[in-house]
Amino acid sequence: MKPSLEHFFKLLLLLALGGVTMHVPDANVLSSLGALHLDGHFSFHDVPAMARDFGNRCSFLPAAVLHPGSVSDIAATVGHVFSLGERSPLTVAARGHGHSLMGQSQAAGGIVVRMESLRSDTLHVHDGMSPFVDAPGGELWINVLHETLKYGLAPKSWTDYLHLTVGGTLSNAGVSGQAFRHGPQVSNVNQLEIVTGRGDVVTCSPEENTDLFYAALGGLGQFGIITRARIALEPAPKMVRWIRVLYSDFAGFTEDQEMLIMAENTFDYIEGFVIINRTGILNNWRTSFKPQDPVQASHFQSDGRVLYCLELTKNFNSDDTDIMEQVSSSFPLDRDVDM
């Protein structure tokens, strides 16, 4: 779609309404985008939506939104912007699920690349000795999980919240309760396909184009756009025992957490949270605490105080149920817990 006069009037109207920061690029620059041959398309009607993110604190209006139909679309667009030279104000930002907090996935007066448009049924699971999945950069982790579970496999390292994209969390770190054992998600990637700032499509890994690989992982989208990631998998647990331990004492909380992380045969997931119990109702927190939980009744009258929570899980098979009962009944923790 070619940018039109109507498009510019709409942008000006949005500016007049306030609340958004706008940089209007040259009309020739915008119309040059229309000359690109793409499998997908540029759109302008969803420009205001791309000036928002989860944080809702920054709002930068882009000039156009690219809905890529292929990796080549991203390469052609980035290559075109690069060819405009350093003086061109046109910037490009990849947008995953838009869950950044401070406008990181926005592009003031530039082009937002909607990576989720590139999501497709192209998740390829490879089982074997060192299983992995090849996932598009715009794929949600929840879909990666569903697909790998069909093979009895799951990624080694997670985020807590799974409606985030592969490229979005790999551009940050990707942290959850498995990170103490496997490292963050960025430490569990075998290979990336990246569209570089020049518009080249480059495969990189710890063995190939190493600098680009390590720059892009945790690179906040500044070293290229991740279009595919090869993610390490492991056998998915059959059953999981989930334990939460509440503390009012910070020292006890951190001592227990450190002890469990260092222990030889420890839990499979360990995460610590701070709970600011402003409302006095613990189950406001992640819906984990239900009104029928015994902890609600008497143990913790927090009176608005800060509380701490250790969240732990242990994977097991149905044959090990008795052992798991013993493990969970050993809580609250004493310092000699031996798993």
Ligand X SMILES: Cc1cc2nc3c(=O)[nH]c(=O)nc-3n(C[C@H](O)[C@H](O)[C@H](O)COP(=O)(O)OP(=O)(O)OC[C@H]3O[C@@H](n4cnc5c(N)ncnc54)[C@H](O)[C@@H]3O)c2cc1C
- Active-site residues: which are they? 99, 160, 271
d(CA 89, CA 256): 52
Can you give the C-alpha Rg of the chain in angstroms? 24
Instruction: Using the minimum distance from each CB to ligand X, give the nearer residue, 161 or 331.
Output: 161
Stretch that binds ligand X, among 15-23, 88-96, 295-303, 326-334 (CB under 6 A): 88-96
Residues 6+ apart with CB under 8 A from 211: none
Minimal distance, residue 127 CB to ligand X, in Å: 25
Stretch that binds ligand X, among 19-27, 30-38, 122-130, 172-180 (CB under 6 A): 172-180
Stretch that binds ligand X, among 58-66, 75-83, 164-172, 326-334 (CB under 6 A): 164-172
Minimal distance, residue 169 CB to ligand X, in Å: 4
Interacting residues with ligand X between 109 and 148 (CB under 6 A): 115, 137
Residues 6+ apart with CB under 8 A from 262: none
Burial class (CB in 10 A: 0-12, 13-18, 19+), 64: buried
Structure tokens at 15: 């500016």
CA distances from 211 to 94, 136, 172, 271, 279 (A): 20, 21, 17, 31, 48
Q: In what order do the strands lie in the sheet with 92-95?
A: 41-43, 64-67, 111-114, 92-95
Instruction: Using the minimum distance from each CB to ligand X, give the nearer residue, 166 or 282.
Output: 166
Q: Which phi and psi (to 5°) does residue 17 adopt?
A: -70, -20
Q: What would the x/- binding string for ligand X be over residues 50 to 69, using CB under 6 A? A: ---xx---------------
Name which position in 7, 67, 99, 314 contacts ligand X (CB under 6 A). Answer: 99
d(CA 243, CA 113): 41
Minimal distance, residue 136 CB to ligand X, in Å: 9
Q: What would the x/- binding string for ligand X be over residues 190 to 229, using CB under 6 A? A: ------------------------------xx---xx---
Q: Residues interacting with ligand X, by CB under 6 A?
A: 53-54, 93-100, 104-105, 115, 137, 159-161, 164-165, 167-169, 171-176, 220-221, 225-226
